[in-house]
Amino acid sequence: MPEQISERARLTGDCARCFGLCCVALPFAASAAFAVSKPAGKPCHHLGGDHRCGIHSELRQRGFAGCTVYDCLGAGQKVSQVTFGGRDWRSGSGQDARRMFDAFPVVRQLHELLWYLTEALNLDAARPVHAGVRGALHRTEELSLGTPEELAALDVAAHRQEVDVLLLRTSELARAGVRGRKKDRRGADLMGARLRGADLRGASLRGAFLIAADLTGADLRDADLIGADLRDADLGDADLTGAFFLTQPQLDAARGNAGTRLPASVARPAHWTAAAL
């Protein structure tokens, strides 16, 4: 367990060791999540010379809620400090900056896989596949440490497919011990669905669209939430105890309250508490 806790801590964004890559490399589209549009590779006009956000404490109020629900899962500091050895994109050549911006989303995808694989090792029921999971975790870590050229040439989709075979088997094993019929809602369109108090214990919600769904008081214990879109979903008083493959960005994009029960792998979003005051 200490090893997995340490791994999770490493898979969390550390802005103090990053050169503001998410504020530069990624594009913004003017919407409810972003007050303005910004192309990939162009710094956000709120990014300071110290690579810090000038409106960090007011992001939601200023129309940048999308920034508050984003987590690079540690990819930013790895690209900044490891892949490019601490070289600031502002001080290097334009070509170096582009290579850094191209590497960032690749490493972000690999770190997401590392998060899932670490989670799989924390599920006792999935012990039959732990050896394969460890091998995939080590291979994914090796890929994330590649040179800028190796990262640019990497077929992330193909690697993700290989890892997904293990994650799917992990899910089957982890949910097998849940009593009763386990619902299969993989990829389901449940946008705005009325699921208040729904029994979704042990359900597969892999890639399900749960945008603005009412999950108030729903039983989501031991559910597989990998890739589920929880934007603006109401998780008030819902029970997510034991739910797995849930990332912090997914949870940050949802709504909840003090009565929402969460797995130990994620933290209660600060804006949930603020909304309840």
**148-159, pLDDT tens digit by residue?**
999 999 999 999
For the purposes of burial, counting CB atoms within 10 Å of the CB of 213, is it exposed (0-12), middle (13-18) or buried (19 or more)? buried
Residue count of the chain, please give it: 277
pLDDT at 274: 54
Please classify residue 226 by burial: count the beta carbons closer than 10 Å to its beta carbon, then call 0-12 exposed, 13-18 middle and 19+ buried: buried
Cα pseudo-dihedral 124, 129, 135, 137, rounded to 10: -50
Q: Helices 156-176 & 94-121, crossing angle to 10 degrees?
A: 20
Residues 6+ apart with CB under 8 A from 74: 10, 11, 12, 13, 14, 111
Closest CA to 198 of 226, 213, 217, 221: 217
**Chain segment 121-178, per-residue pLDDT in tens:** 999 999 999 999 999 999 999 999 999 999 999 999 999 999 999 999 999 999 998 9
Place of tokens 């039983």: 219
pLDDT at 275: 52
Residues of the chain where predicted confidence (pLDDT) is lower than 70:
1-9, 273-277
